[in-house]
Amino acid sequence: MTLIEWTPEFSLGVAELDNEHRDMIQIVNRLYQQVQSGRYQTTVIDALEELHTSAASHFAHEEEMMRAHNYAAYEEHYADHRRLLAEVTAMVHQCQDGVDDDAVMAKWLYEWFCHHFKTHDAPLHQLICV
Sketch the domain layout of the chain as residue ranges.
16-128
Distances in Å between the Cα of 64 and the Cα atoms of 46, 53, 58, 99 are 27, 17, 10, 36
DSSP string, 20-70: HHHHHHHHHHHHHHHHHTT--HHHHHHHHHHHHHHHHHHHHHHHHHHHHTT
In CATH, what class is 16-128?
mainly alpha
Of the chain, the percentage scoring pLDDT greater than 90 comes to 33
In whole numbers, what is the pLDDT of the chain averaged over residues? Answer: 85
Task: State pTM to two decimals.
Answer: 0.84
| Residue that wins the pLDDT comparison between 15 and 76 | 76
Per-residue confidence (pLDDT) for residue 129, from 0 to 100: 65
Phi, psi values for residue 71, rounded to 5°:
-65, 125
Amino acid at 5: E
